[in-house]
Amino acid sequence: MNTLRCEEPSWLVENLNKQTDSILVLDLRTREDFLTGHVRTSVNLPCQNSGEMERGTSVEQLLCPGSTAEERGRLAARGHSESIVLYDQDSTEERKGEALMAVADMLVAEKCRHVCFLNGGFTSILRSHKDIVSPAKKAKRGPRGPPPPLSLPGSKPGNSEEEAKKTADPDKEQVKQGQLSEVLPGVFLGDWTSAKSRDAMIKFGITDVFNVTSDLPNTFETDEELNITYDRYAAEDVASGSLTPHFERAFYSIDQILSRKGCVLVHCLAGKSRSPTIVLAYIMRTKKWGFDKAYDFVKERRRNIEPNMGFLSQLMKFEADMVSDGILLERQRSDADTGSSTVSKSTNNSVPTSSHETSAESPCPKTQATQS
């Protein structure tokens, strides 16, 4: 197929609200991603790699073994659908995924009507139309009861966030291997050692784990007692690695976890580069902070963060996109001093500089980011 019609998310929303039964929506992401969240009524065909589809493969064969009877029924009735909408994570009109095109070819060969794909994929839905997203299928909670309260380093139980910052002495607190850092209530940063510590999972009441690596195993995925839900955000810790495509999915998932009073551990290998990038982006979006302010906030809570140059550039681009989208009115500097001097952070990776005006919101104290 040389051309495939591209529809905007607003078109899908309008038609789902009018005639749900006449539209078949096919989600081509992995089953793991699908269970984290998907367009309501969609059917999951986890076929990320078109090279894995053998010649003569039928659409039914793309269903995963865990598909529901409802999914199988919807797919079987596809010939009666007025429209079939395909989506993956982020395909656009200029850049379509190979698997998406392969499935579209199969449907067109079956003479299905109005086969199209969603511009921007599931990422675009999360940005502007969360009302048509079905939340995670499994809202897991361990049998151990609510997690114990955790104070910030140097604070006493019951202290406010501001009081905790005053009593802590971050210069004396080096991040040890296997240490978890709570950067927001219910949101923890850690490394591989902490992620495979059963005691840590129990102590901090971890209900969900984001594995921000391509190869490290999900240690307790089959542990029924811990009952932890895993979500992988595959990325390599190299300057050419890309985490931006994962941002929207991570934001949505963290919001879902916190809404059900869960606790999420975001980890990579060392807990310095990949996992902090995900958490930094989440804080920037939820608190509507610029990069500098979010960086200082996380650095105060986990001294060894050190995103590589590629991830730093992606965070700066994310800040610029927030300004363009009207989420940030301007690029605000994070220190309380007046003036418009350039703010520069120095790490081994030479963090990009950015000029900000003083935020109207009470800012975090300015500290120079140095390697721990």
pLDDT tens string 207-236? 999 999 998 999 999 999 999 999 999 999
Residue 63 lies in a domain: yes
Q: What is the CATH number of the domain that holds 267?
A: 3.90.190.10
**Local confidence band at 351 (pLDDT 50, 70, 90 cut-offs):** very low
- DSSP SS3 for 131: helix
User: CA 243, CA 61: separation in Å to the nearest integer?
Assistant: 31
The answer to whether residue 58 scores a pLDDT higher than 60 is yes
Residues 94 and 169 in one domain: no
Percent of the chain surpassing pLDDT 70: 72
Indicate if 324 and 236 belong to the same structural domain: yes
Is residue 51 very low, low, confident or very high in pLDDT (cuts 50, 70, 90)? low
Same domain, yes or no: 173 and 289: yes
Considering the chain, what is the average pLDDT of its residues? 77
84 and 167 inside one domain: no
**Per-residue pLDDT at 330:** 56
- pLDDT score at 335: 43
* 127 and 209 assigned to the same domain: no
Total number of domains constituting the chain: 2
pLDDT, position 329: 64
Asked if the model's pLDDT at residue 267 lies above 60, the reply is yes
Of the listed ranges 9-13, 126-130, 149-153, 291-295, the one predicted with least confidence = 149-153
CATH number of the domain residue 130 falls in: 3.40.250.10
154 found inside a domain: no
| pLDDT value of position 136 | 61
Residues 121 and 174 grouped into a single domain:
no
Q: What is the pLDDT of residues 109-135, one digit of tens each?
A: 888 888 999 999 998 888 888 888 887
Does residue 247 sit in the same domain as residue 341? yes
* Predicted pLDDT at 350: 37
Domain endpoint, select from 134, 169, 188? 134
pLDDT at 339 over 60: no
pLDDT, mean of residues 311-318: 92
Q: What is the mean pLDDT of residues 320-336?
A: 69
* Catalytic residue numbers, as ranges: 268
Instruction: Write the CA distances from 236 to 188, 239, 270, integer angstroms.
Output: 20, 9, 12
**Bridge partner residues of 210 (DSSP):** 231, 266
Check whether residue 103 and residue 191 sit in a common domain.
no
Considering the domain boundaries, does residue 208 fall inside one? yes
Sheet holding 229-232, edge to edge: 181-184, 187-190, 264-267, 208-211, 229-232
Q: Is 50 exceeded by the pLDDT of residue 2?
A: yes
Tell whether 48 is covered by a domain: yes
Query: Where does the pLDDT of residue 332 fall: very low under 50, low under 70, confident under 90, or very high at 90 and above?
Result: low
| Shared-domain flag, residues 109 and 186 | no
Domain match, 129 and 173 both: no
Look up residue 164 and give its amino acid.
Answer: A
The answer to whether the CB of 36 falls within 8 A of the CB of 18 is: no
Give the three-state DSSP class for 231: strand
Domain that residue 236 falls in: 161-358
What is the C-alpha end-to-end distance of the chain, expressed in Å? 54
In a domain, 156, yes or no: no
pLDDT at 140 over 70: no
